[in-house]
Amino acid sequence: MLIICLILSYVCLIVAFIAASCKDELYEATIKLDIIIFSLQILSALFCLPVTFGSTSEMFCLIILICYTLCGIYSIAIIFDSEGALRFIIAIVIYVGVYNFVVYIIPNINSNGYYVFIFTYLIIIGIKLIFSIIKYSIQNKKYKDKENKKYEFKEKYNELVTEANNKINTSFINQNYEDLWLTNDNAIKYLDKVHSNLVIVNEAINKSIEDKVFYKGVPQYINSSIETLFNKIEEDTKSANNELKILSLGMNGEELVNKIINTHKYIENLPNLIIKDNDGQRVECDNILITDKGIFILEVKNYESSGNFTLKIDTSGKWERIYKSKAYVMDSPVAQNSRHIGIIKNILFDNNISVPVYGIIVISNDTVDIINNSNSIVVRAGSLMDTINNLKGEVLLNIDERKNIYNLFNGMRKEEVKHPFKNYTLYNDYLNDILSLINLNNEYRENVVKLYNEVFPDNK
């Protein structure tokens, strides 16, 4: 029987060790643990009743006494908010006091080890009951205080939001703006202004306090309209920057090519030429060069990349961009330029002019290595004039003939084509209103943090 008691005691001890490492929030688990320990203690005590105490029995009872005491003390230690090491120290201190009281004081009254065992057992149960009552009363008070603070925060927060909403005018946010049709030159100016205003807007947003100070269940925005505005600003910033980047790349590439061409006085250059043939077909050429060897139709491309890359054109005319050992298929500009060449030839034919017409694809950025296995002429901007000058062929056009062709095409020049661009009028017409809303929302966020720290000072 004593062996059974010993085994049960060690089981209790192991369970108590596990319980000592649990967090205070696990109340259901600790309640079940208390019930298990009480049950095991009562069961093992019943097994000990018929035992006749001799020296060996008293030794086993002493071991059981120690195990029971540790079980009870570790269960009691659960009420502390300390880590496992501190709980262990507290448990040992309490245990030594209780054990010495039982072993050295009680035997003077009655030397029978059996009564020592029973009395110690009752003391442990009493201590467990007292501490259980203390634990539940403390936790109940903490729970009520927490609920009261939550209610106080909610009431004050609602007042804060109501006050902020009374200052808000968001009627302009949800207006619908149709796309703007602009020439490339006007689009650059328009997007530059939009970009400048968006920089101001994003600087105002970035002055806000960091998101990490916000708390679960607390919105970062005063209301849904302001949240919509912030999301729209983020989306429009990306799209406007992307449009400006693409447009600037193209125009910068064309500007570079024109700068190179214009250093050669003997070449007639028609940049950004938009004309129609007699059938009404419109053509928009980046450059038409009229030289003594013929006419060259240029299609200028500026392929931006984060580093050097290779442009590969195979024998079938397929274009690939190879970057960091990966190949990406690209749209071929050759087909587009071939159409331009066809329309230019129609115009020359209608005016009884017979002269060779060539197509050249010009890559205007220097970070490109070109592998061209096709019959198309693809060159970097720096190699353009060498390519034209080295072209085999006799002199076909004198200065007057070149001037006549130049005047023919220039006289047919149409108004520059307009393209659709996303409408960012919101940031031009309502910049001050947007900044006011951003500042108001930043003020709201700061007030939320201040309010939270006032109501929950322990959570700072």
Prediction pTM value? 0.59
Indicate if the pLDDT at residue 421 is higher than 70: yes
Q: What is the pLDDT of residue 184?
A: 83
- Classify strands 377-380 and 368-372 as parallel, antiparallel or unpaired: unpaired
The domain spans of the chain are: 2-137, 249-420
Residue 76: the pLDDT is 53
- Measure CA 23 to chain center: 33
Angstrom distances, CA of residue 405 to CA of 274, 289, 299? 15, 10, 20
Q: What is the rounded average pLDDT of the residues 63-91? A: 52
Interatomic CA distance for residues 122 and 396, integer angstroms: 121
**Which residue has tokens 């024998």?**
315
Q: What's residue 344's pLDDT?
A: 93
Q: Average pLDDT for residues 289-306, to the nearest whole number?
A: 86
The CATH code of domain 249-420 reads: 3.40.1350
Average the pLDDT over each of 23-37, 228-242, 309-323 and give the range with the smallest value. Answer: 23-37
pLDDT class for 183, splitting at 50, 70, 90?
Answer: confident
- Per-residue pLDDT band at 140 (split at 50, 70, 90): confident
3-state secondary structure the chain: CHHHHHHHHHHHHHHHHHHHCCCCCCHHHHHHHHHHHHHHHHHHHHHHCCCCCCHHHHHHHHHHHHHHHHHHHHHHHHHCCCCHHHHHHHHHHHHHHHHHHHHHHHHHHCCCHHHHHHHHHHHHHHHHHHHHHHHHHHHHHHHHHHHHHHHHHHHHHHHHHHHHHCCCCCCCCCCCCCCEEECHHHHHHHHHHHHHHHHHHHHHHHCCCCHHHCCCCCCCCCCHHHHHHHHHHHHHHHHHHHHHHHHHHHHHHHHHHHHHHCCCCCCEEEEEEEEECCCCCEEEEEEEEEECCEEEEEEEECCCCCCCEEEEECCCCCEEEEECCEEEEECCHHHHHHHHHHHHHHHHHHCCCCCCEEEEEEECCCCEEEEECCCCEEEEHHHHHHHHHCCCCCCCCCHHHHHHHHHHHHHCCCCCCCEEECCCHHHHHCHHHHHHHHHHHHHHHHHHHHHHHHHCHHHC
Using the predicted structure, report yes or no on whether residue 357 has a pLDDT greater than 90. yes
Which tens digit of pLDDT belongs to each residue from 233-248? 999 999 999 888 888 8
Q: Look at residue 24 in the predicted model and tell me its pLDDT.
A: 44
- Under 8 Å between Cβ of 135 and 128: no
Average pLDDT over residues 401-411: 92
Q: Are 298 and 271 in contact (CB under 8 A)?
A: no
Residue-level length of the chain: 460
Give the pLDDT score at 142.
72
Backbone angles phi, psi at 172, to 5 degrees: -80, -15
Q: Please report, rounded to a whole number, the percentage of residues in the chain having pLDDT higher than 70.
A: 66
Q: Reply yes or no on whether the pLDDT at 111 is more than 50.
A: no
Top mean-pLDDT range of 35-44, 100-109, 428-437? 428-437
Instruction: Give me the chain's average pLDDT, please.
Output: 75
Q: For position 378, what pLDDT does the model report?
A: 92
Predicted local distance difference test score (pLDDT) of residue 126: 62
With 60 as the cut, is the pLDDT of residue 198 above it?
yes
Q: Of the given ranges (22-26, 149-153, 281-285, 340-344), which has the lowest mean pLDDT?
A: 22-26
pLDDT band at 106, cuts 50/70/90?
A: very low
Query: Mean pLDDT throughout 131-154?
Result: 73
Residue 383 pLDDT more than 70?
A: yes
Mean pLDDT, to the nearest integer, of 199-221? 73
Distances (CA, A) of 396 to 267, 269, 294, 353, 405: 13, 17, 7, 12, 13
pLDDT at 79 > cutoff 50: no
CB count in 10 Å sphere of residue 183:
14
pLDDT at 87 over 80: no
pLDDT of residue 54: 45
